[in-house]
Amino acid sequence: MIYIHIPFCKQKCSYCNFHFSTSLNFKDEMLRAMKTELMLRKDELQNTRLKSLYFGGGTPSILSVDEINSLVDEVLHYFSFEKDIEITLEANPDDLDKNFLKQLSGTPVNRLSIGTQSFFEEDLKLMNRAHNASEAESSIKRAQDFGFENLSIDLIYGSPTSNLEIWKENLRKTIALEVPHISSYALTVEPKTALENWISKGKVKSPKEEEQNKEFYYLSDFLKDNGFEHYEVSNFARPGFYSKHNSAYWKYQEYLGIGPSAHSYNGFDVRSWNVANNQQYIKKLNDKILAKEEEILSQEDQFNEMIMIGLRTIWGVDISGLKDKFSDTMLEHFQREIQPKMEEGILVIENDHLKIPEKHWFMADGIASDLFLV
């Protein structure tokens, strides 16, 4: 599978620390550089028949449909597509006007991931989103009108401008709009963001973990009652609408990341990442030099990643897979660390897979880190 990072946005969200630029001055040069990177790295994937192509960012919907099509065509120069390939475009609601959607419906893009975040104006203003509450709702309806049934939306809970009643209404609207996939995250205060600055100056209250915990479990129960499957800590889908792309990440499959700050993984022991600087990225690719660094993952790194990722999903950690891959010493550590947590009911083994019962999923990362090799 391939991930293409589009490092441009109209404006900076208050909570975001992803790599992007609000200037489009070098957009053409960036797209040329991405095509060069695809050409230079075409042999890195073992499987050249793709089941997933994902445009993330940044804001991929800031591109024209012709530019999106051009990138898809470039991928097809070097790779082929599975018959049922999932091609996802992340999009902001304010970009999804009738003209854009009409053109996009004629491309191979068959899944939209819409950055809704909330259907309430105060939440959106705090987050400094480019869209308003009306666009949050109307963009989904328009996408459906143009034939995009495979939709995902992002929702953020635990905002200082929200509360449990507002959160319930956000979820009721989502169900009423018949969205089949939801990615939902607690509002987190990342370093060097506007949100961190506002909180440090007392302009905005800090999110409360206790409230976020309540809203997380309400989210899970409500969506399951409405036919969704909670298949990863932050992801919910109706049957048949799991994200193929993200599921492949969570099953340790290989992927190729194109664009500044994009990461790649060979499915075994090599991870690489591109420079998070647009000018450096373009300059190197103009000279046909890859703008990336890589690391060889140690056995400890691989063990910790399998634990962290597996325990965030309904599939859990394949214990037989651990036994095949890691040393007796590491397995002894594993058995020793899981035992007290199993006695507490925080971990369980089902069909030779180690899992966290869903009632403890809000603390999944902390539970997993207790099992790490250090």
Q: Is 104 exposed, middle or buried (0-12, 13-18, 19+ CB in 10 A)?
A: buried
User: Radius of gyration over alpha carbons of the chain, in Å?
Assistant: 21
The reply to whether 211 and 306 lie within a common domain is no
Residue 57: is the preceding peptide bond cis (ω within 30°)?
Answer: no
Is residue 267 included in any domain, yes or no?
A: no
Domain count, the chain: 2
Instruction: Evaluate whether 52 touches 79 at the Cβ level (below 8 Å).
Output: no
Tokens 């207790």 — which residue?
370
Amino acid 64: pLDDT: 97
CATH number, position 307: 1.10.10
Q: What does pTM read for this prediction?
A: 0.94
Question: Are residues 9 and 112 part of one domain?
Answer: yes
Judge whether 283 lies within some domain.
no
C-alpha 91/C-alpha 111 separation (Å) is 10
Residue 8 sits in the same domain as residue 70 = yes
**Residue 279, in any domain of the structure:** no
Q: Are residues 85 and 167 in the same domain?
A: yes
Q: Please tell me whether residues 66 and 170 are part of one structural domain.
A: yes
pLDDT of residue 97: 96
Given 227, 250, 273, the domain boundary residue is 250
> What separation in angstroms does the CA of 51 have from each of 71, 84, 247?
16, 7, 11
Residues of the chain with pLDDT under 70: 20
Per-residue pLDDT, 25: 84
Q: Is residue 149 part of a domain?
A: yes
Q: Which two three-digit tokens encode residue 310?
A: 């597996």
Instruction: Clarify whether residues 212 and 317 are in a common domain.
Output: no
Q: Are residues 56 and 129 in the same domain?
A: yes
- The DSSP line for 75-138 is HHHH-EEEEEEEEEEEE-GGG--HHHHHHHTTSS--EEEEEEE-SSHHHHHHHT-SS-HHHHHH
| Residue 234 three-state SS | coil
What distance, in Å, lies between the first and last C-alpha atoms of the chain? 31
Q: Judge whether 119 and 137 are in contact, CB under 8 Å.
A: yes
* Assigned domain for 273 exists: no
User: What integer pLDDT is reported at residue 15 of this predicted model?
Assistant: 82
- Which pLDDT value is given to residue 111? 98
User: Could you give the 3-state DSSP secondary structure of residue 159?
Assistant: coil
Q: Provide the domain limits for residue 237.
A: 2-250
pLDDT tens digits along 4-39: 999 998 888 888 877 767 778 899 999 999 999 999
Domain boundary among 190, 219, 250: 250
* Residue 128, domain CATH: 3.30.750.200
Do residues 209 and 318 both lie within one domain? no
238 and 310 together in one domain: no
Determine phi and psi for 323, rounding to 5 degrees: -65, -35
- 304 and 241: one domain? no
pLDDT of residue 224: 96
Three-class secondary structure of residue 151 per DSSP: strand
What distance in Å separates the CA atoms of residue 314 and residue 354, rounded to the nearest whole number? 10
| Cβ neighbours of residue 141 closer than 8 Å, sequence gap 6 or more | 177
Name the residue type at position 232: E
Same domain? 237 vs 309: no
259 lies in a domain?
A: no
Q: Is the dihedral of CA 223, 224, 225, 226 positive or negative?
A: positive
Please check whether residues 329 and 183 belong to one and the same domain: no
pLDDT tens for each residue of 102-151? 999 999 999 999 999 999 999 999 988 888 999 999 999 999 999 999 99
CA atoms within 13 Å, Cβ hemisphere of 261: 16
Cβ-contact 154, 114 below 8 angstroms: yes
In a domain, 153, yes or no: yes
Asked, for residue 140, whether it belongs to a domain, the answer is: yes
Burial of 184 (0-12, 13-18, 19+ CB in 10 A): buried
